[in-house]
Structure 1
Amino acid sequence: MLPTSSPPPGHSSKQRRHSRYSLLWLYFRRLFKPTQMDFQYTLWTMLQLCISPKTAYRHTSYHKQTKNHWARDDPAFVVICCTLVALAALAYCLAFSHSVGRSLLTIVSAVAVDFLAVGAAIATAGWALSNRFLRRQNQHSHAVEQSVEWMYAFDVHCNAFFPMFLLLYVLQLVLCPVLLMHTFVATVLSAVLYAVGSAFYVYITFLGYSALPFLERTEVFLYPIAGIVVALPLALLLGINPTKLVLKWYFDYQP
């Protein structure tokens, strides 16, 4: 039976704002209480993002059903990522930096800028794009209007970042003796590594937004792969080794 009255104007928007504030409060409260973070589930999610990303996002729908929001209310994923990025940056500094001050600046920059600030900018762009252009129009006047939460958009960035981190931070460091050689093979390996890492980021971002049932045309998030496909042969033709460029940017490294 249909309701005979509708909620007062602005009622649903007030509810959404209250829900967002409650989620933020819970999120930051847990940030300072490590015992309330579920690190075991977070590590399981990270594993799934590497071997079966769709499985990881399938659990997102379960989260919505049980807690009535799409975003994580547990900061464990961000905490682990920040720690891993800091440790990876420290490893690069030990290998390529000759200054303690420069090393500390690099570590802070890797976490605060490369992961958090750039990630927040990408999340904001995805959040604005999806809410402005990709939401399905409600077919029923009594249907509940849904929108992408900014915190969920940032979760999508974190999810996409982790496999890319393993490729472009960890694996690259292991392969540096080969990637820094003055050979065409080293250039090919470096360019392919960055292409695969970037494509993985784009694909998992696409999965994150396509997991939301109220969005449509989410294939737009796959469009950057076209740029990657074009950039890869150009890099090879021009002899551009991304690993050398990155190390030169951060450490003025001259192989």
Structure 2
Amino acid sequence: MLPTTSYNPLSQGNGALNSRDAARHTAGAKRYKYLRRLLHIKQMDFEFAVWQMLYLFTSPQRVYRNFHYRKQTKDQWARDDPAFLVLLSVWLCVSTMGFGFVLDMDFVETLKLLLWVVFIDCIGVGLLISTLMWVVTNKYLMKQPSRDYDVEWGYAFDVHLNAFYPLLVILHFLQLFFINHIVVINSDWFLGYFVGNTLWLTAIGYYIYITFLGYSALPFLKNTVLLLYPFALLVLLYVLSISLGWNFTKGLCWFYKYRVQ
């Protein structure tokens, strides 16, 4: 149900806010509320954020049904609670320190890697992808142009965070146990790069699928199935990598070491 704007006779002649200005003000107010909660840990619902993280692996559709509920009750698609972002940041820091340990980095090198991963890989790339998807969905995937409906930038960022979390757990946590032990995926033998590249296929596949679910949940978007098309390229790249002996995990380890030198 769309919010209505009441008529204010005093606004005539005084440059009353039009609908776009009002929406911008509302977005600013919501953003302020979200950032303010970062300073008040007791106001964050970490239990619910953990529930979302669990279901992003087992049933991501349930997570987006909750986004529908938020739209109905709070008139916004994006999260108003930064608890998920805080827990994701903790996961990122812990897993990056794990990478530093596995790759035999010293304290300074691990700190450099952590700063690169947090500010470039997570925040920088996340802002870039979210902005790109925000522009593309509003410009090309809208059922019909309207000032009443649009994809919130905050929602696009939430979709990225949702999709990024399983990728983070698989490639930055689960993969750690296989780099130098069990299968030793950081090697040139077949089983190593087969297991490693399969983890990459699973992680990026999760990212594509959860991104698709996020935008297909918006009733005013069309042709969201196009967001699944990268799957074909992903599978092709996976088959090609196995055939040619490419090892994505070995490349990642080399790239991380190169960064901190």
- Does TM-score exceed 0.5, indicating one fold? yes
Distance 2:95 2:44 in 1: 23
For residue 56 of structure 1, the aligned residue among 51, 60, 63 is 63
> Hey, what does 1:231 align to over in structure 2?
237
- Measured after TM superposition, the shift of residue 99 of structure 1 is 2.9
**Closer, same or farther: CA 189–33 of 1 in aligned 2, 3 Å:** same
State the distance in 2 between where 1:252 and 1:119 align.
22
Aligned-residue offset at 1:11? 2.0
The secondary structure found in structure 1 opposite 2:175 is: helix
2:76 to 59, 69, 72: 69
Report the residue type matching 2:116 in the other structure.
S
Partner in structure 2 of residue 118 of structure 1: 125
Residue of structure 2 in register with 1:99 after alignment: 106
Once the two structures are TM-superposed, the CA of residue 91 in structure 1 deviates from its matched residue by: 1.0
Assess, with a 3 A threshold, how the Cα gap between structure 1 residues 16 and 184 changes in structure 2: closer, same or farther: same
Corresponding letter in the other structure for 1:88: S
Judge which range, 152-161 or 96-105, deviates more: 96-105
* Structure 2 residue 247 is the aligned partner of structure 1 residue 241: yes
1:158 aligned partner, one-letter code: L
Q: Which residue of 1 aligns with 2:155?
A: 152
Q: Report what 1:128 is aligned to.
A: 135
Aligned-partner residue type, residue 223 of structure 2: R
CA drift of 1:42 comes to 0.5
The alpha-carbon distance between structure 1 residues 233 and 35, as it changes in their structure 2 partners (threshold 3 A), is: same
CA contact (8 A) 2:44 2:83 kept: yes
Q: How big is each residue's C-alpha offset from its partner over 1:128-180, in whole Å with a ceiling of 9 and x where there is no partner?
A: 00000111116xxxx86210110100000000011111111111001222212
Paired residue secondary structure (1:153): helix
Post-superposition Cα deviations, 1:225-245, rounded to whole Å, max 9, x if no partner, equal: 121011011111221111111
Residues 32-51 of structure 1, C-alpha deviations (whole Å, 9 max, x = no match): 11111110111101111110
Residues 187 and 250 in structure 2, CA contact (< 8 A), matched pair in contact too: no
Distance 1:98 1:42, change over 3 A: closer
Q: Deviations for 1:78-132, whole angstroms, at most 9, x for unmatched residues?
A: 1111111011000111121333222101011111111111111111111000000
List structure 1 runs of 4+ shifted beyond 6 angstroms.
5-10
Which of the numbers 176, 180, 191 marks the counterpart of 1:173? 176
**In 2: Cα distance, 1:10 partner to 1:214 partner:** 25
Amino acid at match of 2:229: Y
Once residues 87 and 128 of structure 1 are traced to their aligned partners in structure 2, the CA distance between those partners, rounded to angstroms, is 33
The corresponding residue for 2:228 is: 222
Paired residue type of 1:79: V
Match of 1:82 among 82, 89, 97: 89
* Structural RMSD (CA): 2.1
**Which runs of structure 2 are paired with 1:38-53 in the superposition (5 Å)?**
38-53=45-60
Deviation (angstroms), 1:10: 6.4
Q: How many angstroms does 1:12 deviate by?
A: 1.6
TM-score relative to the length of structure 2: 0.89
2 CA distance for matches of 1:13 and 1:252? 47
Q: Which runs of 5+ in 1 are unaligned?
A: none
- The separation in 2 between residues aligned to 1:121 and 1:108, in whole angstroms, is 18
| 2: CA distance, partners of 1:243 / 1:46 | 24
